[in-house]
């Protein structure tokens, strides 16, 4: 299509012996943005917390990457195990495959454990306040990270013919969709959804009790992800017509909404 979004012709840049994968670069840029904004928000509210965000990130960021990869491997084991699997590919994260729920879960656990340790020494607020400070930045990081899927030409949706459709070269099209050239740019939908939630959370930052902002992030993101996931046509396990990630999105949305409501009720 004339006005379709083109898929980049390269996903990596070689500088001498060094190869820079653009997917990984998007992840790094997103993490940097999350740390900058999270630190700014946290020390603005608690001036004595200087350096805390970067200290926690030393443990939380690697844990998040590992958690995201483990979730991806656990939900698509056939790619890495068995007669048709390639176990070495499990370590090639630049090819894509980071499950956001695994990343948030393990990253949050690592952050909580380390934060609790230093909070007692520095008289810091509860972890809920720390999580609230980081939530908008994490969403922006997710928005930036999704562009890595664009560079890899992956995780797009069903065929679409509009001015914002994503043009996919034939060698990247799934089996059964070779005759279509343009598809739903689900990476763009999710990126815009994350930015919208981040903006909303920044607007609400002074009106909610501690912990509510982070739970609202989890709830709203998962609700949107349910619908975006339903557009995708990449290979995935399905149950009763829904993709596995859609069930996870529903469960996380429900749990997040319940906990968010409980916090508001308790506050009143």
Q: Could you write out the DSSP letters of every residue in 180-246?
A: --EE--HHHHHHHHHHHHHHHHHHHTTTS-TTHHHHHHHHHHHHHHHHHHHHB-S---EETTEEHHH
* 25-34 pLDDT per residue, tens: 999 999 999 9
Asked if residue 235 belongs to a domain, the reply is no
Domain count, the chain: 1
Asked if residue 236 belongs to a domain, the reply is no
Asked if residue 244 belongs to a domain, the reply is no
Q: Which percentage of the chain shows pLDDT scores above 90?
A: 68
* 152-197 pLDDT per residue, tens: 999 899 999 999 999 999 999 999 999 999 999 999 999 999 999 9
Examine the pLDDT at 267 and tell me if it is beyond 70.
Answer: no
Higher pLDDT, 95 or 15: 15
Give 1's pLDDT tier (boundaries 50, 70, 90): very low
Mean pLDDT of 71-75: 86
Distance of alpha carbon 148 from alpha carbon 98, whole angstroms:
11
Asked if residue 245 belongs to a domain, the reply is no
Examine the pLDDT at 94 and tell me if it is beyond 90.
Answer: no
What does the block give as tokens for 92? Answer: 């090639």
Asked if residue 166 belongs to a domain, the reply is yes
- Compute how many other C-beta atoms are within 10 angstroms of the C-beta atom of residue 121: 7
Distance of alpha carbon 29 from alpha carbon 121, whole angstroms:
31
Higher pLDDT, 3 or 186: 186
> pTM of the prediction?
0.91
Asked if residue 167 belongs to a domain, the reply is yes
Asked if residue 145 belongs to a domain, the reply is yes
Asked if residue 107 belongs to a domain, the reply is yes
DSSP assignment, residue 179? T
Q: Classify 155 as helix, strand or coil.
A: coil
* 203-260 pLDDT per residue, tens: 986 778 999 999 999 999 999 999 999 999 988 889 999 999 999 999 999 999 999 9
Give 80's pLDDT tier (boundaries 50, 70, 90): confident
Q: Which domain holds residue 87?
A: 5-207
């Amino acid at each position: 299509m004339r006005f379709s979004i083109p898929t980049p012709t390269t996903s990596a840049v070689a500088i001498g012996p060094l190869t820079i994968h653009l997917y990984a670069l998007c992840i790094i840029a997103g993490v940097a943005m999350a740390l900058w904004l999270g630190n700014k928000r946290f020390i603005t509210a608690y001036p004595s917390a200087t350096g805390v965000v970067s200290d926690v990130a030393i443990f939380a960021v690697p844990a998040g990457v590992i958690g995201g990869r483990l979730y991806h491997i656990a939900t698509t084991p056939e790619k890495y195990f068995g007669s048709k699997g390639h176990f070495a590919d499990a370590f090639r994260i630049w090819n894509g495959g980071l499950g956001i729920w695994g990343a948030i879960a393990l990253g949050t656990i690592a952050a909580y454990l380390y934060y609790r340790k230093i909070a007692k020494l520095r008289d810091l607020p509860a972890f809920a306040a720390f999580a609230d400070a980081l939530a908008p930045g994490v969403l922006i990081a997710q928005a930036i990270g999704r562009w890595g899927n664009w560079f890899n030409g992956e995780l797009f949706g069903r065929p679409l013919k509009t001015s914002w459709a994503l043009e996919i070269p034939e060698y990247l099209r799934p089996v059964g969709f070779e005759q279509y050239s343009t598809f739903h740019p689900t990476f763009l939908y999710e990126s815009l959804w994350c930015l919208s939630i981040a903006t909303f959370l920044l607007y609400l930052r002074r009106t909610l009790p501690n912990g509510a902002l982070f739970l609202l992030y989890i709830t709203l993101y998962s609700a949107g992800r349910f619908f975006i996931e339903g557009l995708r046509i990449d290979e995935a396990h399905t149950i009763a017509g829904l993709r596995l990630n859609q069930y996870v999105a529903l469960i996380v949305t429900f749990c997040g909404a319940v906990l968010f409501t409980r916090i508001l009720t308790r506050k009143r």
